[in-house]
Amino acid sequence: MSIRIVAVEANGTVTAKVIVPHPNESGRRKDDQGVFVPANFVTEASATLDGAPLFAMQLGPSVSKNPFLQFRFKGKKGEKLKVSLKDNKQKAYAAETVVK
């Protein structure tokens, strides 16, 4: 999975946009044969800024396919933002970017 992150600073506030390519199946949808599609969704997301914790949150099956996350924080150009995610199958994903 290739997480895409864009983080742009303006007047001391960084706006980060994160796109996570993930199926995010709730386990409640049926396929064409009427069989339930197994649950597979992002359950946890967290971020660090230059290694210091920024936030941690829990997600659930109601989040859409290929979720889009956007958040703001105080920061400056050149800092390293890292976003980490885990899904209900215990797969972990992470990506980093430098604030522009």
Query: Tell me, what amino acid is at 82?
Result: K
- Chain segment 30-44, per-residue pLDDT in tens: 999 999 999 999 999
pLDDT 10s digits, 58-67: 998 877 889 9
89 close to 58: Cβ distance less than 8 angstroms: no
Number of domains making up the chain:
1
The predicted model scores a pTM of: 0.88
> Cα torsion at 70, 6, 46, 94 (round to 10°)?
140
> In whole angstroms, what is the distance from residue 20 CA to residue 1 CA?
8
Please report, for residues 29, 32, 33, 44, 61, the alpha-carbon distance to residue 37 in angstroms, rounded to integers and kept in the order given: 6, 10, 10, 21, 13
Q: Which domain holds residue 92?
A: 4-29+36-98
Q: Quick one: pLDDT at residue 1?
A: 63
